[in-house]
Structure 1
Amino acid sequence: MGPVVSEYLLFPGRHHVLTRFQGEFLREHAAGRTVVWAVTSANHRTTKRNPIGFDRRQAAIERFSVLEGIRSLVVGVVDTPPTDEFAEVTVKAIEAGTDDLVRLTPANTVVACSTPEVSKLYERLGFVVIGVEPEGVVRPWDVLLMVAAGNESWRSEAHPATVDVFERYALDAHVQRCVNDPVVGDDGGLTTTRDYKTYADAFETAADRKWAQIREFVRPGRILDIGCATGATLQLVDADPRFHESDLIGVEVARHLYAECVHKKEQGRFANPNVYFYQRNMLGSAVFPPRSIDTTLTLALTHEIWSYADGARPETVQRFASALFAHTAPGGVWINSDVCGPAEPDRPVVLALDDSDGLNPAEPVELESFDDPAAYVGGLSTRARFFQFAQDFRRNARVPFEYAVQDGRLVLRLADAMDFLTRKDYVDNWLSETHEQFCGLNFAGWADVATQAGFTLDPSSKPWRNDWVIDNRIAPVAALSSLDGAELDWPDTHQLLIARR
């Protein structure tokens, strides 16, 4: 078949890397045509699947076009779930992205694509599709994995435009951090089952209470909130006149929450012009220069550092604290407000749980097969929920969680009892929450982590008990006693750690 005459050549793809082969291909097929680069997942960055932001991808494409002498239009296409309408979505996104100046039809456009499943979607609309990379040719994703592996031969496969942009913006190191991250998933979340809307609402609701607890310890200057979620705490810092000349910096690893922070800034929700957000995993590498941060906030974060540490929990949290000490200025402070385990984590206790407040199935189930896990867990009695938690917590958090049933009584470690009791009502994110261990360290353990890193503890540091949770969520359905039957008081559930350099 002879060459297809058309006005446009549509080239859909993520385009994180451009290759020398693509340069040869477009020199042959783009003559007399405008290449329309549909850059998919344009709203994603800093994830395993999409490590490079749209702005850097566009810069490389424009540089590529100049070097190859082709006329290009670059249009970002937001990420969509897998759909058989992908081709229609892309064509409509191009119309919207060019203010309807470019309308691609089978009569004026040929599509360049090497993915058979995607090619079929365009062919179904009547487009002629030509393949790009034949078998045996190194494809862009292969080159990206070479970058992630530190294989310097990627430079000989990548187009000079990509090499140039990667070198100028240090994108090779950025790709390595993202793709090799042991904590964050393919799409920039900690777990695939987390409902980020629920998390965002919870952070917004709790921000005032947390700020009231920590505000007196915050030092003006460069104020860093790690795990800033939706930026709600930084909004309260921004509203405090004491900090109107401070730099406010938020770091958030989860793509969904980071996007909300950026959205707030774009809406003008911050009066201070010196507000900055980073999407970064602080476990990956140092983010800020030594002795450059006056206040570091970690609110409801350190238990996640512990929980997602891929097995090396003590070493990981110690490395994290040491990194905080390194970037803290002399006289600066690390303020940590989070959950913690009881002072006597290994004490054996008897836990009595209500079995009249819900259903009592014979065995726990595999929740991953349920369309609505929250509804199922929410319908269980407190006692039945314990057995479901034990199964899911062991698997997801990779912890022993040992217990025995003696004459109908549950006998287990105090820390394990509190891990269940403080999480039993989190049904909306049950599968995600059971990845996390609240009671991995008690206050003394976290204090030791801080002092080993080099910090000095302020006398205001303390463990404390959330009596609202005890009175409203735990005590009505549970009772705690010693092995000899003596009633036990509820232990501390939270910590406030003020660590100074």
Structure 2
Amino acid sequence: MYLLFPGRHQLLTNFQFEYLHSIINNVSKSSDINGQPLKLDATVQAVIFAVTSANHSNTRRNPLPFYLRALAIQEFAREFNVPVYVYGIDDVGNLPNFASYTLKTVKHESEGLFNLSPSNTAVVCSTPVLTMYEKLGFAILPAELSDRKAWTYQHQLPWDLVEKIANDPEWGSKAEIVRDIHVSSRELWEKYRLDHKVRLLFKDTMIGDDGDITTTRDYNTYVRQMDEIAELKYRETASHVRPGRIGDIGCAVGSWIKLACNDERYRESDFYGIEVARHLYDICYQRKHNGEFANPFVFFLQRNAVTGLVFDANSMNTIHTSSLTHEIESYGSRNELLQFIRNRYQELANGGIWINRDVVGPSDKEKIVLMKLTTADGRNDDYDKVHTGRKELRDYLAGLSTYGRFLRFAQDFRKKEGYTLKHKILEREGEYYIQLTLQDACEFMSRKDYIDNWQSEMHETFCFWDFDEWKQHLEQAGFTIAPESKAYTNPWIVENRLRGKLELFEQTENGLWQIEYPVTNMILLGEKR
């Protein structure tokens, strides 16, 4: 018979070792989850570790890469007197038949050596995943599990220990932690300083357990949009890049780096792409393997630039960020944005430059304006209809008029963050206007057409700082603001999204006075001198 041990295996315990060792040496005295003796061959021929989420690493849920987990397992099993095999099982989302997927993957990866079935295999599992294998007819060996109804355990689970390490810098001196960790895992964690990595990941409030900023973003749409505007971004920033060590933080799918690699001015430079979102990082890595970057000195890292430095201090000649800093304010906090700014200053070498291209708020953010919206380009009612599916919501929003879409925006904008968009509907000479602050008007203007990712966009704020406030915060961190820095109104946005749809007015003594569309974007150049 075989023992199949599925799990993420971020850490191995002494209990797991003793439990497997006792089964291997005395199968006949082992009982399944129902207290029944195993009705299988009394000799264990091999132990198969199915390491799930093998394609994930550097996230709270999966901090260790697959190769480190495999190294620990091989060392862990050195004293077993039977062969031990390790196979990586990629994460495929919430799959009801994940057990079947795991079994088929093991068969494929072993080239048919292991065709695991209820007639030849028992599954070692103490989590609710065991029910998937039970439904397939496998005998379950419960390991730490003592009561499956209450899901209580007789020993600490490996993940309990990971969480304790993450929350205790002194874990190495705590007997209640160390005594339960198998020496194979402890040596690995200490050698590679994995406790430092895990603590950084666990204290990160922006990134979810699986390494993403938001769970409501359609990455197919997002990637397409990033590629479509990559050339524009590069044209706006290329003249400010300084050769040497060039970093792109929030590099998405590497499009900016790809264009920079084709620029003769930077052919002797090294490029470093930093991306925290796992989906995007995977695409960067695949593009590199595909040979899409003309410069061979291109390196990608999955790191969070908020929690710490992503480059060595005083090492970078250029750091580029685009459409990133507003996400830190949106999904993180003001303190995290200020820390991000300080981190970039530390990373730059003397004479280095941080190129920050992003959205920006208008000056006079609190000024009250009147916004006139067209009602002729769609429906003006049922703006508050509930949709759970992304595609259904997109199609529904596409049918709303600009006026109707504002009413939906006012309802959804940063609702989960506790924000209330204050506005009034006023009538002037037979026309209807929305009275609100210029800042809130700009928030709507910047987001009203992002219907593919509406749920994600409703978490984001673009206009929290105006250009002068941005400059002040960089200067407080030590930067000198280059004179080429500017805030501007994107003409494409005006012509394609605003004109004919939306007009802004202010109330004067002589009546309503139409005002220009405010700034939408900025190029902010911070130098370290």
Normalised by the size of structure 1, how large is the TM-score?
0.94
Structure 1 position 317 matched with structure 2 position 317 = no
Q: What is the DSSP-based 3-state SS (H/G/I as helix, E as strand, rest coil) of the residue aligned with 1:176?
A: helix
Structure 1 position 42 matched with structure 2 position 54 = yes
Map 1:271-310 → 2, pairs under 5 A:
271-310=294-333
The count of aligned residue pairs is: 491
Give the Cα–Cα distance (whole angstroms) in 2 for the partners of residues 235 and 227 of structure 1: 14
Structure 1 residue 368: Cα displacement = 4.1
Contact 2:506 2:515 in 1 (8 A): yes
Q: Which runs of 5+ in 2 are unaligned?
A: 26-43, 146-152
Q: What is the CA deviation profile of residues 46-72 of structure 1, one whole-angstrom value per residue up to 9, with x for unaligned ones? A: 222222221221111112122555521
Q: What amino acid maps onto 1:353 in structure 2?
A: L
Give the Cα–Cα distance (whole angstroms) in 1 for the partners of residues 137 and 384 of structure 2: 51
Structure 1 residue 120: Cα displacement = 2.8
Residue in 2 that maps onto 1:468:
492
Give the Cα–Cα distance (whole angstroms) in 1 for the partners of residues 433 and 224 of structure 2: 37
Q: What is the CA deviation profile of residues 287-324 of structure 1, one whole-angstrom value per residue up to 9, with x for unaligned ones? A: 222101110001111111221224xx2x3322211110
Residue in 1 that maps onto 2:267:
244
Structure 1 residue 86: Cα displacement = 1.5
Contact 1:224 1:295 in 2 (8 A): yes
Segment drifting more, 147-156 vs 222-231: 147-156
Structure 1 position 131 matched with structure 2 position 151 = no
Residue in 2 that maps onto 1:96:
108
Q: What is the CA deviation profile of residues 6-49 of structure 1, one whole-angstrom value per residue up to 9, with x for unaligned ones? A: 1x210001111111100111111234431111111111112222
Give the Cα–Cα distance (whole angstroms) in 2 for the partners of residues 497 and 50 of structure 1: 36
Structure 1 position 105 matched with structure 2 position 117 = yes
Equivalent of 1:120 in 131, 134, 137 = 131
Contact 1:397 1:437 in 2 (8 A): no
Contact 2:304 2:310 in 1 (8 A): no
Residue in 1 that maps onto 2:522:
495
Residue in 2 that maps onto 1:226:
249
Q: What is the CA deviation profile of residues 320-350 of structure 1, one whole-angstrom value per residue up to 9, with x for unaligned ones? A: 1111011100000000111101122111100
Structure 1 residue 417: Cα displacement = 0.3
Give the Cα–Cα distance (whole angstroms) in 1 for the partners of residues 79 and 380 of structure 2: 69
Q: What is the DSSP-based 3-state SS (H/G/I as helix, E as strand, rest coil) of the residue aligned with 1:427?
A: coil
Q: What is the DSSP-based 3-state SS (H/G/I as helix, E as strand, rest coil) of the residue aligned with 2:525?
A: strand
Q: What amino acid maps onto 2:16 in structure 1?
A: Q
Give the Cα–Cα distance (whole angstroms) in 2 for the partners of residues 84 and 380 of structure 1: 37
Structure 1 residue 231: Cα displacement = 0.5
Structure 1 residue 494: Cα displacement = 0.4
Give the Cα–Cα distance (whole angstroms) in 1 for the partners of residues 500 and 107 of structure 2: 58
Q: What is the CA deviation profile of residues 363-399 of structure 1, one whole-angstrom value per residue up to 9, with x for unaligned ones? A: 6244447772211222211111111111211314543
Residue in 2 that maps onto 1:65:
77
Structure 1 residue 236: Cα displacement = 1.1
Q: What is the DSSP-based 3-state SS (H/G/I as helix, E as strand, rest coil) of the residue aligned with 1:352?
A: strand
Give the Cα–Cα distance (whole angstroms) in 1 for the partners of residues 493 and 391 of structure 2: 29
Equivalent of 1:14 in 8, 15, 32 = 8
Residue in 2 that maps onto 1:3:
none
Contact 1:148 1:176 in 2 (8 A): yes
Equivalent of 1:381 in 401, 418, 428 = 401
Give the Cα–Cα distance (whole angstroms) in 1 for the partners of residues 79 and 228 of structure 2: 52
Q: What amino acid maps onto 1:48 in structure 2?
A: R
Computed over aligned residues only, the root mean square deviation of the Cα atoms, in angstroms, reads 1.7
Identify if the C-alpha distance between structure 1 residues 12 and 229 changes in structure 2 by more than 3 Å, giving closer, same or farther: same
Structure 1 residue 123: Cα displacement = 2.6
Residue in 2 that maps onto 1:486:
513
Contact 2:360 2:466 in 1 (8 A): yes
Segment drifting more, 49-58 vs 230-239: 49-58
Give the Cα–Cα distance (whole angstroms) in 2 for the partners of residues 212 and 94 of structure 1: 48
Give the Cα–Cα distance (whole angstroms) in 1 for the partners of residues 411 and 271 of structure 2: 42
Q: What is the DSSP-based 3-state SS (H/G/I as helix, E as strand, rest coil) of the residue aligned with 1:36?
A: strand
Map 1:172-183 → 2, pairs under 5 A:
172-183=195-206
Contact 1:397 1:436 in 2 (8 A): no
Identify if the C-alpha distance between structure 1 residues 475 and 185 changes in structure 2 by more than 3 Å, giving closer, same or farther: same
Structure 1 residue 250: Cα displacement = 0.7
Give the Cα–Cα distance (whole angstroms) in 2 for the partners of residues 397 and 386 of structure 1: 19
Q: What is the DSSP-based 3-state SS (H/G/I as helix, E as strand, rest coil) of the residue aligned with 1:284?
A: coil
Structure 1 position 25 matched with structure 2 position 19 = yes
Identify if the C-alpha distance between structure 1 residues 256 and 445 changes in structure 2 by more than 3 Å, giving closer, same or farther: same
Q: What is the CA deviation profile of residues 447-478 of structure 1, one whole-angstrom value per residue up to 9, with x for unaligned ones? A: 11211111111111000111111111112211
Structure 1 position 353 matched with structure 2 position 373 = yes
Residue in 1 that maps onto 2:166:
148
Q: What is the DSSP-based 3-state SS (H/G/I as helix, E as strand, rest coil) of the residue aligned with 1:496?
A: strand
Q: What is the CA deviation profile of residues 406-435 of structure 1, one whole-angstrom value per residue up to 9, with x for unaligned ones? A: 234211111110110110000000000011
Equivalent of 2:442 in 418, 421, 428 = 418
Give the Cα–Cα distance (whole angstroms) in 1 for the partners of residues 486 and 329 of structure 2: 19
Contact 2:273 2:300 in 1 (8 A): yes
Structure 1 residue 253: Cα displacement = 1.1
Equivalent of 1:54 in 45, 63, 66 = 66
Give the Cα–Cα distance (whole angstroms) in 1 for the partners of residues 406 and 45 of structure 2: 64
